[in-house]
Structure 1
Amino acid sequence: MSFYRVKGKMVKHRLMRKESSLRRHIPETHWFSIPQLRRLLRKYGVVFLKPDRGSGGKGIIRITRIRKGRYLIRQGTRRTLAGRKALDQLLWKMNRSSRSYLVQRGLHLAKYRGRKFDIRMYMQNPSSHWIVSGMAARVAPKRLVVTNYLQGGSVVPLSRALRPLLGSSRAARYKIRRCKRLSKRIARVLHRHYPDIRELGIDLAVDRKHRIWIIEANSRPQHKLFYRLPSCRMLRRIRRNKAFIDSHRHG
C-alpha cells in the first residue's frame, strides 16, 4: 500500500508507538469516544480533538477542565466557557459526525514571546539516507491554539525560539541535536513500512518542562513556511533536494 494513500493520523501514530525509542515521546492518543475523552480529561486536565484526516490545524478543538463541571472549549478563535450540559451536547454532536476524530492528551507547549510554539522538521531522503533539510519554530497567533502559519501564525528560526526558553545558545544547540536525532528515527521507522516515501514533515513540540513530544508526521509536507525565515539557506536546500527526488521518481 502506498504511503500517500494512508493519510490518517492514527495509522502513523500506531506505527510509531510500536517503536520503544519513540513511544515515550508520543502523547496518549485514542479514537474519539465520549468515555475516552472524559478519562483523558480527568487524567490530564486538557485534551485535543483532532480530525483523523486533515491538515493545517483545521477542525482542532481544545477542551480544558477549569474546575469540576466547568470547561473552556477553544475552536479557532472561539472561546466558550461551558458547563457539563454544553460539553455533553458538543460531544454527542461529534459522536454522530461522519468524520473520524482522535482524542489526544493536551500538551502545555513552551512559549516564545508569550505565544505557544511547536517545531517543523523537514526531512528528505534524496539518495540513500534521511537528512534534516529544514527546521523552524511555528509560533501561534494570539487567541489561537494552533501554530499553523496558514491560520496567522509566524515562523522564526528554531534556535531563536529555544534560546530564551532554555537559557543559553549551548542548551538550544543540544535540544536541536536531540530533535534531529528523533526526527531521523521517525523517518526511518515510517520508511521501513512505506519505502516509497522520500519526504516528511515532522511536527515536534517542547513542553514547559522542556520535554520533546512527537505531534505527527506528514507524508506530503509543505515547504512554504521556509520562505518566511530571514535566511533562504534551508529553502534552497529543500528545493534542490526536491528537484533531485522528483527527477529520479519520474525518470
Structure 2
Amino acid sequence: MVYSRAGRAQALQTYLPYIGQAPIYAFNPDHIDWKRKQVAGMVKTENGWRVRLFPLPAVVYSQYYGDKRRLFFRLEQRIGIGKCFNAINRFDKLDVHRTLASTPIILNLPETLPYSKENLRAMLERHGVVFLKPCRGSKGKGIYRVQKLCQQDELEFTIAEDVWVPFCKVNDIGALDRQLVQSMNKKPYIIQKEMNRIKLDDHLIDFRIMTQKGTDGKWTITAGLTRFVRRSYFISNVYRICDSLQNVLERLFEDPERRSSVYRGIESLCIETANVLERKYGLLGELGIDIILDHDDRAWLVEVNAMPSKTIFDDITGDRDKEMVYRSPMDYCKYLLTKKKVIRHKRKKSIISRKRKR
C-alpha cells in the first residue's frame, strides 16, 4: 500500500525481484471498494504498468508515510487480524522516548525532555550542550545545537543549525528562548543531551541498523552501516562516506571478544527496542535504528525510523546484506500468509477463528 502512482510503480519495481511466485500489487487506500471487497491495484505487465481490479489482499505491507491504524483495523475485519503491518510509519520522537524509557532500555537513552524554556534551562545547567529536534521526522532538517558558555565571566548561549559554526549568540535565557521559538516555527520539539560519541578518521560516526522480520516472523539485524559525518557538520544526514557496520567495528576494536561484545550490545538493544515499539504501535516489520557509541563502548539509541531508507545500503554492504534488506519484508509477508487466519466479527466484536470447531 503506497500513496502516489509513481510511488506504487517504484515500490513494485523494488520488490519484484524478491517475491518469488507470490502475486503482488500496489494500491492506495482510496482505491478500496469495501462493498465489493475489491481494490484497484497496480501491477507490472509485459506492456508496462497497469491498474486492474483485485480481491482484497491477503497481506498488506504499508509504504504510506503516516498513521493508517484506522484503515488497518477496518481491513483486518475482512482479511484477518495480524495480516497488515507497518500501519504507522511516522513516529513522534517524544512518544517513542517515553515508551522506551519505561523499560530497561532507559539505560541506553540520552536524557530527553519536551521543549520548554524551563526544561531548556535545566538541561543546559546539567549538560552544557543540547540538541533540539522536531518531534516528527525531519530527515535531518531543523536540528539545532545549543551551547552554554562563560566568556570573561559573562554568560553566552550559541545556536547552530547543521554546522558547528553558530548563527546566533545571545546573553540570557529569555533571548535564547525567543530565538528558538521563532526558529522552531510553532512545531513541537524535544531537547536531547549531546553524547560524547566516538570518532574514526577524525570524523564523528553513527550506525544505522536495519532491524527487520523475515521468514520466521522474528526480529533480527539484517544490515548495518556507518555514516562518517562531514567535519563541518554535526548532523549525520550530511555524511562524507558510508561503510558497513562490521568493517568499522573491526577497525575500532582489534580484540575479537571486545568487538563481539559491542556487536551483541547493539543487537540486543535494537531487537528489544523493536519488541517494545511493536507492543505500543501494533504489528511492525522493519525499523531503522540510529545508534552511537561512547568511549566506554556503550551503545546509545538516538532515533528510531519507522520508514527507513534502504537505498543507502546499496553501495556499502555485501550482495547478501543488500538482498536481505529488500527481501525481508517480502519474506515476512509470506510468513503472515502461513499463519492461521483470524477475523473480527462485526456485531459482537469478538475474535473468532475461521477454522471449524471439531
TM-score normalised over the length of structure 2: 0.63
Paired with 1:44 and 1:78, the residues of 2 have a C-alpha distance of 17
Paired with 1:211 and 1:65, the residues of 2 have a C-alpha distance of 26
Code of the aligned partner of 2:126: K
Paired with 1:248 and 1:165, the residues of 2 have a C-alpha distance of 37
Check whether the contact 1:41–1:47 (CA below 8 A) recurs between aligned residues.
Answer: yes
Structure 2 residue 173 is matched with structure 1 residue 91: no
Query: 103, 106, 124: which is aligned to 1:23?
Result: 106
Alignment of 1:70-85 (within 5 A): 70-77=156-163, 79-80=165-166, 83-85=169-171
**1:111: which partner in 2?**
199
What is the Cα deviation at residue 199 of structure 1? 0.7
Query: 272, 277, 280: which is aligned to 1:193?
Result: 280
What is the Cα deviation at residue 164 of structure 1? 4.2
Paired with 2:240 and 2:277, the residues of 1 have a C-alpha distance of 28
Gaps of at least 5 residues in structure 2 are 1-67, 70-86, 339-358
Query: 32, 40, 63: which is aligned to 2:115?
Result: 32
Paired with 1:55 and 1:83, the residues of 2 have a C-alpha distance of 25
What is the Cα deviation at residue 54 of structure 1? 1.9
**1:50: which partner in 2?**
133
Check whether the contact 1:137–1:155 (CA below 8 A) recurs between aligned residues.
Answer: yes
Paired with 1:230 and 1:24, the residues of 2 have a C-alpha distance of 30
Paired with 1:115 and 1:40, the residues of 2 have a C-alpha distance of 26
The structure where helix makes up a greater share of residues is: 1
Check whether the contact 2:90–2:137 (CA below 8 A) recurs between aligned residues.
Answer: no
Alignment of 1:170-181 (within 5 A): 170-181=257-268
Query: 303, 308, 311: which is aligned to 1:216?
Result: 303
Check whether the contact 2:210–2:223 (CA below 8 A) recurs between aligned residues.
Answer: yes
**1:139: which partner in 2?**
228
What is the Cα deviation at residue 108 of structure 1? 1.4
Structure 2 residue 58 is matched with structure 1 residue 12: no
Secondary structure of residue in 2 paired with 1:128: coil
Paired with 1:38 and 1:103, the residues of 2 have a C-alpha distance of 11
Change (3 A) 1:91 1:161: farther
Larger CA Rg, structure 1 vs 2: 2
Check whether the contact 1:141–1:152 (CA below 8 A) recurs between aligned residues.
Answer: yes
Code of the aligned partner of 1:75: E
Change (3 A) 1:35 1:205: same
Farther off after superposition, 224-233 or 239-248? 239-248
Code of the aligned partner of 1:188: N
Secondary structure of residue in 2 paired with 1:66: strand
Change (3 A) 1:219 1:201: same
Alpha-carbon deviations, 1:177-208, whole Å to 9, x = none?
11001111111111112232111111111113
Gaps of at least 5 residues in structure 1 are none
TM-score normalised over the length of structure 1: 0.88
Change (3 A) 1:78 1:109: closer
Q: What's the Cα RMSD here?
A: 2.5
Change (3 A) 1:116 1:224: same
Paired with 1:232 and 1:141, the residues of 2 have a C-alpha distance of 27
Code of the aligned partner of 2:134: P
